[in-house]
Chains A and B, each alone.
Chain A
């Protein structure tokens, strides 16, 4: 696990604005935080160097990419877990694959073109030895991710709660 990076209220505000819009103007951030553009830039640089900010991206609506069928696949496998993760990561249509604790041993999110495509992906997956059971849940809603709702200082809230 990475080491914790301390951030203050101003960092929090900057991060919040960048999460809401990565192309936000420096001037606007500076104004909202009541500091100079140079200090904003310095703070963003620090957040990048310390690895809090990994980069910036746009999130596309998957419908437009011709991948209308997203599914979460829960996998039960007591052996060979690393091989399964490797297989999933190599597969173009897998956007997320991790070992986990709980109902499943591995969980994965796949994007496919249609039901037949999904069937093929699941079929291939089932061929890997060590997999006991595969549970597929197809997404019927529009998957949209947002970090705007996130507490950027989870540790701080914990310690506040105790005192």
Chain B
């Protein structure tokens, strides 16, 4: 990745709705350059989404639940992953290596919604066991330090540029 790409990415992470003309001025380039680089980064999957950050507690969610799922051995995981992704409110599903096989996360509004969620996860194919961890806080996306990692990386690139 080039330094200008990283700078654009970094600015867009702070505010994805900034006008490209404004951004071009700030980074000392043309808005055409920004537009085409943004399009390319999207196409290459470097940026997989531009989205709004939402405080889900304002909409009635009270927290989120991490689901730690064990899939029966010898069974393929992808079927389970597909089924989990279809469950309402599931924000992410990822395969993990360690004490569990899959990790999913979903916001929850109350006790009943936790129960419904766990029931649905248990019904997904090949699920053997589900453990939950409840967190009393919910906004999306939940990433605090991505920005810091990014700026560290663009500094690193700046040094190699010279």
Q: Is the interface of B mostly helix, strand, loop or mixed?
A: mixed
CB pair A143 B92 closer than 8 Å:
yes
Q: Does A43 reach chain B (CB closer than 8 Å)? A: no
A37 within 8 A of partner (CB): no
Q: In the complex the two chains form, is B9's CB within 8 Å of A147's CB? A: no
CB distance from B159 to the nearest CB of A (A): 14
Number of interface residues of B (CB under 8 A): 69
Interface residues of A in 85-105 (CB under 8 A from B): 89, 91-104
Bound-complex Cα distance A65 to B100 (A): 26
- Which one, A28-36, A52-60, A123-131, is touching chain B? A52-60
Task: Give residues 95-149 of B contacting A (CB, 8 Å).
Answer: 95-100, 103, 107, 109-110, 112-113, 131-137, 139-146, 148-149
Q: How far, in whole Å, are A4 and B61 apart by their CA atoms in the complex?
A: 9
A52 and B141 contact, CB distance less than 8 A: no
Contact A58 B53 (CB under 8 A): no
| Cβ–Cβ contact A23 & B16, under 8 A | yes
Q: How far is the CB of A67 from chain B (nearest CB, A)?
A: 6
Residue of A nearest to B143 (CB): A95
List A contacts of B48 (CB < 8 A).
59-61, 144
A40 at the interface (CB under 8 A from B): no
CA–CA, A135 and B133, complex, Å: 13
Number of residues on chain A facing chain B (CB within 8 A): 70
Q: How far is the CA of A111 from the CA of B140 in the complex (A)?
A: 17
Point out the residues of chain A lying under 8 angstroms from B152, CB to CB: 92
Q: Given the complex, which residues of A lie within 8 Å of B3, measured CB to CB?
A: none
Query: Are the C-beta atoms of A52 and B58 separated by less than 8 Å?
Result: yes
Closest to B99 in A: A135
Residues of A within 8 A of B15 (CB): 55-57
CA distance A4 to B16 in the complex (A): 26
Given A57-B50, A98-B137, A145-B92, 20 more pairs with CB closer than 8 A: A19-B52, A21-B49, A56-B15, A56-B17, A56-B51, A57-B52, A94-B144, A94-B145, A96-B142, A97-B144, A101-B136, A102-B66, A103-B132, A135-B98, A149-B90, A150-B89, A151-B88, A151-B89, A153-B59, A155-B109
Q: Which 9 A-B pairs have the closest CB atoms?
A: A137-B98, A141-B95, A56-B16, A102-B133, A154-B109, A155-B60, A137-B96, A22-B16, A54-B53
